Amino acid sequence: DAKTTQPNSMESNEEEPVHLPCNHSTISGTDYIHWYRQLPSQGPEYVIHGLTSNVNNRMASLAIAEDRKSSTLILHRATLRDAAVYYCILRGAPGGGTSYGKLTFGQGTILTVHP
Amino acid sequence: NAGVMQNPRHLVRRRGQEARLRCSPMKGHSHVYWYRQLPEEGLKFMVYLQKENIIDESGMPKERFSAEFPKEGPSILRIQQVVRGDSAAYFCASSPTGQSNQPQHFGDGTRLSIL
């Protein structure tokens, strides 16, 4: 399976932007880049996903490098509620080398937001 | 539109008893996934089901664990003869299809405690 690498932890101040990096140098051409987060004592929550182009939604933005070997999740204005573990996950097509169907969670990045 | 519903939220069992965890997917979703999160560990995939079929059970322990998703009713994760090591949070997710560009929507989990 194609793997992702994320920093163990990051810190931010409230109302400042946060850039969460993810490296995926062995990504396949058909792999989607997904981001999920898990708040304390809750189930994972879908944040955003993309394939090649940058993506925006109400929660965040996803910036994908031109060679697709890395991506960055951008929270434009961090709030205390954004404190969570953020997971970058690759999802592949059936028959490909990357996990199909299931999500393979790594250790993620623990984001701490200071008031 | 109700999200993924899991029940019970908390379940306490004594060693040797059976545990049944239920998951009702989001309306219109026919694909269900089960994940387990052991204390202080990451989320691990267990099983992927589509109505009446097991698609991928590569993460299921070989003994005592089983899962089903009948034509009618919720998906059930069944653990027979529970042991202390089964204590964990069990999360269910659903999606409308198994396509890699579809997010998975998670429930809030069942926290299983074995006495």
pLDDT averaged over consecutive 10-residue blocks of chain A (115 residues)? 89 97 92 95 95 94 96 97 96 65 92 97
Whether A78 and A17 have beta carbons less than 8 Å apart is answered as yes
Sign of the dihedral through C-alpha A38, A51, A92, B27: positive
Task: With cut-offs at 50, 70 and 90, classify the pLDDT of residue B17.
Answer: very high
Pairing of strands B88-95, B65-68: unpaired
Task: With cut-offs at 50, 70 and 90, classify the pLDDT of residue B21.
Answer: very high
d(CA A5, CA B109): 26
Q: Give the count of Cβ contacts less than 8 A between chain A and B.
A: 61
Whether A85 and A21 have beta carbons less than 8 Å apart is answered as no
Mean pLDDT within B27-40: 94
Residue of A nearest to B4 (CA): A43
Task: State yes or no: pLDDT of B61 exceeds 80.
Answer: yes
Q: What is the pLDDT of residue A61?
A: 97
Which tokens go with A110? 């623990």
- Which amino acid, one-letter code, is at A18? V
Mean pLDDT within B36-45: 91
Tell me the residues of chain A between 21 and 80 that have a Cβ less than 8 Å away from chain B. 30-32, 34, 38, 42-46, 49, 51
Task: With cut-offs at 50, 70 and 90, classify the pLDDT of residue B97.
Answer: confident
Residues of A in contact with B93 (CB under 8 A): 43-44, 103
Q: What is the pLDDT of residue A30?
A: 87
Mean pLDDT within B77-106: 95
CB contact under 8 A, A101 and B101: no
- What are B44-55's pLDDT values in tens digits? 999 999 988 999
* Those residues with Cβ within 8 angstroms of residue A29's Cβ, 6 or more apart along the chain or in another chain: none
Instruction: Tell me which of B41, B100, B105, B110 to substitute to probe the interface with A (most A C-beta atoms closer than 10 Å).
Output: B100
Whether B82 and B18 have beta carbons less than 8 Å apart is answered as yes
Least confident range of A9-13, A18-22, B87-91, B99-103: B99-103
d(CA A91, CA B111): 27
- Three-state SS string over chain A comes to CCCCECCCEEEEECCCCEEEEEECCCCCCCCEEEEEEECCCCCCEEEEEECCCCEECCCCEEEECCCCCEEEEEECCCCHHHCEEEEEEEECCCCCCCCCCCCCCCCCEEEEEEC
Q: Tell me which DSSP letter residue B23 carries.
A: E
Whether A36 and A87 have beta carbons less than 8 Å apart is answered as yes
